[in-house]
Chain A
Amino acid sequence: MATVELNNVKKRFGLVEVIHGVSTKIVDGEFIVIVGPSGCGKSTLLRMVAGLESVSEGEIGIDGKTVNDLEPMDRDIAMVFQNYALYPHMSVRENMGYGLKIAKTPKDEILQKVDAAAKLLQLEDYLERRPRDLSGGQRQRVAMGRAIVREPSVFLFDEPLSNLDAKLRVQMRLEIRDLQARLGITTLYVTHDQVEAMTMADRMIVMNAGRAEQIGTPLEVYETPQTLFAAQFIGSPSMNVFETTVADKTLSVGEAIIPANTKAQGPVTAGVRPEHIIADENGPLSITVQMGEPLGANTLLHGRLGGTSDAFTISLPGVHHAVAGEVIRFSINSKHLHFFDIKTGRRI
């Protein structure tokens, strides 16, 4: 059980700064997901918390204690790696008990803790097997078991599900979330998958190019994205954005003028999520369809926003047989419009 504090944490590789100062406070037992595209620095940030990378500037505190200069083993953390990193020549039991063995835990205590963890993870039948004889999901569980038996203050997960197939990923997602809730251990979880971030996080840190774009609960980020990047990264399909001008609480889109409840004025980047448009035969806006993607429950239509050359996607409920060139009219509830500064990308 512990809090984790990041205080203006920076990382430089040589002269190149890759993380430009991230600060946040993680409360005891919280599940934090760090999400962002490849190369945004999310894994580096996690590895700094783990102690596998040095901190160039700033402070990392675990349970109120600065850990910048501590070795990973002295930080009271456990980490689950993307490729599981199981020791290939050891049995599942030895893999899970290795950390305890190094810590000189008495043998019967190791036995008991490994058995308990194995029961929790339904690995009892596999304890004597080698990692290569296990399936991907089982290996993933062993990696988690190895983390659990040490009873750490903080769990660190580095894209743990990216090597699993889609179905197993959904299942393991639930299992990890459930496990964390039961054990109540503070968790930092890195992923590039925004669905994982949305479904698992208590709060998420959206990262881009070494900066934390937004820190908040999944719904906060979805409903009021603080930056253009966060708006487009979270949500699937991603938010439609187009440059336009706002004048006296109205917004011009092509030739149409629609009401906009905003204090913004002049040129802005406006955004609306595909699922928030309302199909409406008399709607002020239109889309010229180029391609349809039927998903069963809903249908995505990609095309151009009427009167402009901006790419636009709408999501219609149910099945919709779209023909290329078809024009569909729709309207938008002004509360679903987002406005961002055209230069900084910050929310207005």
Chain B
Amino acid sequence: MTHSAAKRRKEPAPGMVEKRGLGLWFTHAIMIFGVLIVFFPIWLAFVASTITQPEIVSPPMPLWPGDQFFTNYKKALFSGVNVPVATMLFNSLVMAIGIAFGKIVISLLSAFAIVYFKFPGKMIFFWLIFLTLMLPVEVRIVPTYQVVAGFGMLNSYGGLILPLIASATATFLFRQFFMTVPDELAEAARVDGARPMRFFWDILFPMSRTNIAALFVILFIYGWNQYLWPLLITTDPEMNTIVMGIKQMFPSGDDVADWPVIMATSILAMIPPVIVVVSMQKLFIRGLVDSEK
């Protein structure tokens, strides 16, 4: 909010001061309360990542950060429990970006085909794509595993990314967007001499960029948060992604859990999605609310 806007808000029309003031306080109180509730566990995780193991296990647990920040985070990033967290972060990044990019490219192209071309079985293909919406990863996980194992893609980036790359949701979104683009635009491009792929690159792609940005944010987080699939196909700790890796850090049997390192890993796991959301927030919101036509 700009300074002048803030000033204006503090000086409402005479006669409305009390009511408005009260309402403002009340809504803010509720919002702050909500934020505190949501934020508290994250704060606890952060606190736990800055103190020592004995401090955590002896109740009551402290509520303010300790002095072990650098020690714990250094340990997590470069040695970890099974594998350095830096490796897991990199794996997650490759997977999330791979999934987001792959899904966007494939769904852009399939939506382009469905909207702008006439071919036999067009509606059948569309509905087949649409049907896959009803089959989440978990439902088809056993046959998918079989296929990926058959291709020898266990413990590889290809195995992590490819099975998750087709997206009915994104195809559907782009289809809806393309259908709102006036037909005359395609015709004008045709008269101007643009072949279909030229039209796609020069006109459709730039017009979709806010949609692409919004989708990228959603898909990046989707990819980042994948848990079950990486858990199944990565047996080599070197290929673990961070979200499943946190779980792998939990000890089996009677070993002692290294809570400060686990908590530091959790905090680290949160940072990239937050960066993506915050840095693309403007484009993201524009992509969801308006389209340039």
B288 to chain A, nearest CB (A): 18
On whether the beta carbons of A85 and B292 are closer than 8 Å, the reply is: no
**Residues of chain B in range 89-117 having any CB-CB distance to chain A below 8 Å:** none
- Does more than half of chain A's interface fall in helix, strand or loop, or is it mixed? loop
- Is B182 on the interface with A (CB-CB < 8 A)? yes
With A89-B207, A98-B202 known as contacts, the answer to whether A79 contacts B188 (CB < 8 A) is yes
Chain B proximity mask over A45-57: 1 for CB below 8 Å, otherwise 0? 0000011100000
Q: Which residues of B contact A77 (CB under 8 A)?
A: 191
Chain A proximity mask over B175-194: 1 for CB below 8 Å, otherwise 0? 00000001011011111111
With A73-B193, A102-B194, A103-B193 known as contacts, the answer to whether A88 contacts B188 (CB < 8 A) is no
- Is A250 on the interface with B (CB-CB < 8 A)? no
How far apart are the CA atoms of A71 and B192 in the complex, in Å? Answer: 11
B208 to chain A, nearest CB (A): 10
Number of A positions contacting B (CB below 8 A): 25
Chain A proximity mask over B125-136: 1 for CB below 8 Å, otherwise 0? 000000000000
- Is B66 on the interface with A (CB-CB < 8 A)? no
Q: Which residues of A contact B293 (CB under 8 A)?
A: 88
With A85-B182, A88-B207, A89-B206 known as contacts, the answer to whether A98 contacts B187 (CB < 8 A) is no
- Is B203 on the interface with A (CB-CB < 8 A)? yes
- Does more than half of chain B's interface fall in helix, strand or loop, or is it mixed? helix
On whether the beta carbons of A83 and B190 are closer than 8 Å, the reply is: no
How far apart are the CA atoms of A103 and B194 in the complex, in Å? Answer: 9
On whether the beta carbons of B187 and A73 are closer than 8 Å, the reply is: no
Further 18 A-B residue pairs, CB within 8 A, beyond A73-B191, A82-B184, A99-B193: A51-B191, A52-B191, A72-B193, A73-B190, A73-B193, A77-B191, A79-B187, A81-B188, A84-B184, A85-B182, A87-B188, A87-B189, A88-B207, A89-B292, A98-B189, A98-B192, A98-B194, A132-B292
A to B CB contacts below 8 Å, 20 in the list: A71-B190, A72-B190, A73-B190, A73-B192, A73-B193, A73-B194, A79-B188, A79-B191, A83-B182, A87-B188, A87-B203, A88-B207, A88-B292, A89-B203, A98-B192, A102-B192, A102-B198, A103-B193, A132-B292, A146-B192
